[in-house]
Structure 1
Amino acid sequence: MLRPIKTEEDYDKALNRIDFLMDKEDQDSLDELEVLALLVEKYEDNNFPIDAPDPIEAIKFRMEQMGLTNKDIEKSFGGQNRVSEVLNKKRKLNLRMIQNLHKELDIPYESLIGA
């Protein structure tokens, strides 16, 4: 029987049940798996929140993923000096930079604004 996940023990049982259901192919098992996954996600969101990344770290991470250099992103910042100042945390991102980075590097707004 499905129940809300309220404790660490409930959470562990749900994860074990998910592992069991992953190998099943019948519709009832798949439905149960879907519902359990939603319950686990809710429990994890409430008990293990993940903070938004630091905006500068998000930019550096995306640059690394895309193999970009500071020169490659100058246009998003409005010049070489601004890239250096922002990446060294001597200047804050402004709205135009945030919009450009979102559009050109596909960095989520939430990551650029920070929490």
Structure 2
Amino acid sequence: MFTTEPNSYIDLLQKFPPRPIKSEAEFFAVQEIIDTLLDAGELTPEKQDYVNVLGILVHEYEEKHVSIPDLSGVELLRALIDEFSLKQKDLVPIFKTESIVSAILNGQRKFTVEHIEKLADFFNISPSAFFRRTL
């Protein structure tokens, strides 16, 4: 998107002025700008500020238009396995055996506190993510 390297915050604003995102096409355009800047290497303070502004706009759009499923427990574990392209054997350090992984994924066993703590560390998420939320 940027044909020449913008040198200042004002240059960045002039090349792609931030505006509230109103469509999926605009959302993807903003994402492309963010990706281009992040992939270019080290961010200057000006570029970091600009990316932060664009990130706020992306966040606002996602809050209104993107539904994130409320997953917990085994559903969450399945989604994480899928997202990270893991195999059951990749989780043996957490569950000790593949048969335990299989039993948990099939609903034949429940998580232990130790499993949840290790999963949270492994995926770098809060242990609370594995508990179903009640309203």
TM-score, with normalisation over the residues of structure 1? 0.51
Q: Which whole-Å deviations, capped at 9, do the CAs of 1:5-31 have from their partners, x for residues lacking one?
A: 4x338x728936x74xx67xx987875
Report the identity percentage.
23
Greater RCO (Cα-Cα under 8 Å, separation 6 or more): 1
Amino acid in structure 2 at the alignment position of 1:44: E
Secondary structure at 1:90 match in 2: coil
Residue 81 of structure 2 is aligned to residue 60 of structure 1: yes
Amino acid in structure 2 at the alignment position of 1:12: E
* Gapped regions of structure 1 (runs ≥ 5): none
Matches within 5 A, 1:44-83: 44-53=62-71, 54-58=75-79, 60-61=81-82, 64=86, 68=90, 70=92, 72-75=93-96, 82-83=100-101
1:28/1:14 Cα in 2 relative to 1: closer, same or farther (>3 Å)? Answer: farther
Amino acid in structure 1 at the alignment position of 2:90: L
Tell me, yes or no, if the aligned pair for 2:103 and 2:109 is still in contact at 8 Å.
Answer: yes
Question: What root-mean-square deviation, in Å, do the aligned CA atoms of Structure 1 and Structure 2 show?
Answer: 4.5
Q: Indicate the structure with greater helix content.
A: 1
Amino acid in structure 2 at the alignment position of 1:45: E
